[in-house]
Chain A
Amino acid sequence: MHELTTTRHNELVDPLLHIWGWEIPVYLFIGGLVAGIMIISGYFTLKHQFKKNVFSSFYLPHISLILLSLGMFSLFLDLEHKLYVWRLYTTFKVASPMSWGAWILVLVYPALWLNTLIRIPDRFKGIIPIFDRLSTRINEHPFLIKNIGVLNMLLGTLLGMYTGVLLSSIGARPLWNSAMLWMLFLVSGLSSAAAFVHLIAKDKYERQLLAKADNAFLTLEIFVIGGFISGLLTSTSVHIEAARLLLDGPFAAAFWVFVIALGIVIPLFLQLLAVNEKVRHTPIPPLLVLSGGLILRFVIVYAGQYSHYMHQVFGR
């Protein structure tokens, strides 16, 4: 028997840590989604796809700008000392992933905006003359287009990685303390972005391509989740207990049903049939993938706060 009784009753900390509510999972999901969109959009830019279709090079980065702003607003809502948010930009702390994230986000906005200037649709031309001049200047130098594509892919990768590193750097929470988490969030972000483009793109080629890409990302995500869980199961007792929160603990139902079955396996199966032209493309698989990605963030953030050293180890 081992029983701990404490007189502490701090709000959000006791009896179990719950400092981060819906705002952080939503922010991490949107951050991952935007990261994936940047990689996809950057890839299309690099491949000169904008010459055929403006969706990937103009509308997608614009949608990303709106999504990212929503994500940042969600993060802002989580702050307890909101009026001091500007303090993030008075310093750069090398050891703090949150500081890295704050500065990466500052770079992401202009990169996305540059992507929108590569090809401005006719109906938006002439509204802001300086944008038209910049667009002309960029198009006079093809190497700039290539570099904007690479920049978007690079910053997208950094942003996607950061959403995972933010949690995995917190060693006090055994579930998060895994080197696989950044990979999981990056792949999940790519998968969500592919599903998002698949859902809203009008061009058949883009939809077919992104459905195929999403199948690859979903397959990869299964292996990454396998690696994440097995890494915890082969670690210390607290890490094993943390993994069990997902496998057969209080978060098992959400994990197995909404993340694995409805979020990965079923849409993968449906999309495999669709790309092989056995069934028609429908919005159901991408919607399932997007909900699965969101619920994955909720499960990881909530279960991670639940996982703890003190509950398992008698410190002596």
Chain B
Amino acid sequence: MARFGMVIDTAKCVGCMDCVVACKTENGVPEGFNRDWITQDVAGKYPTLHMEIRSERCNQCENPPCVYCCPTGASHVHDFGGVVLVEHGMCIGCKACLASCPYDARFIHPDGYADKCTFCIHRVEKGLDPACVSVCPTHCMTFGDLEDPNSTVSRLLTSRKYHTLIPETGTKPHVYYLV
């Protein structure tokens, strides 16, 4: 069974926000809201500072607290690729999923339901890459099946050093950042 994941090369990402614009356009994300965003992370002590630019979104966790806490089953794991999705017609807007996401990746859509990145499942089902991946000018983003050892994402994760976000929460995120 496929398990979709995303690998982002932070050495290539320039924070141009093309991925953000592509996502908003593709998914009709309302003004003032973001399904993906750019984070600039600066750490260290002058003059030995380290900066990482990341394109962030829902981490499509293997152990998704947002799905477990949902009282109606609106938040669910899709059969195709294990992508975490929200069934809008089942969501009551209780916001428990927003509270339970350590990445703050969700928001309340103006129509009242919880919304977030879907890995552009409607495109992936047609064999296309998510919108953000398809427009990246530096090709820093790669999307694919983590269960397939020959996929590009699997090969990148076996050949490069990487990290995930807040791994100590035990959510097992499936967005990986190459360092």
Contact = CB atoms under 8 A, between A and B. Distances in A.
A169 B70 CA distance: 12
Interface string B42-64: 11111001000000100000000
A216 to B, nearest CB: 33
Contact of B91 (A9, A84, A313): A84
Nearest to A89: B72
B68 A96 contact: yes
A109 interface: no
Interface in A70-126: 78-82, 84-85, 87-88, 90-91, 93, 95-99, 102
A170 interface: yes
Contacts, number: 167
Given A84-B92, A315-B164, A96 B104 contact: no
A201 to B, nearest CB: 36
Contact of A7 (B38, B73, B165, B170): B38
Contacts of A79: 92-94
A12 B108 contact: yes
Given A79-B92, A87-B72, A96-B70, A2 B102 contact: no
A13 B72 contact: no
Interface residues of A, number: 49
A88 B71 contact: yes
A82 B94 CA distance: 9
Given A8-B37, A91-B73, A172 B99 contact: yes
A309 B166 contact: yes
A79 B95 CA distance: 8
B20 A7 contact: yes
Nearest to A100: B71
Give the interface SS of chain A, mostly helix, strand, loop or mixed.
loop
Contacts of A4: 39-42
A165 to B, nearest CB: 11
Nearest to A17: B104
B44 A1 contact: yes
Contacts of B102: 171-172, 308-310
A2 B51 CA distance: 10
Contacts of A85: 92
B163 A172 contact: no
Contact of A93 (B72, B100, B163): B72
Interface string B85-115: 0000111111110111111101110011100
Nearest to A94: B68
Interface string B110-154: 011100000000000000000000000000000000000000000
A95 B34 contact: no
B107 A10 contact: yes
Contacts of B79: none
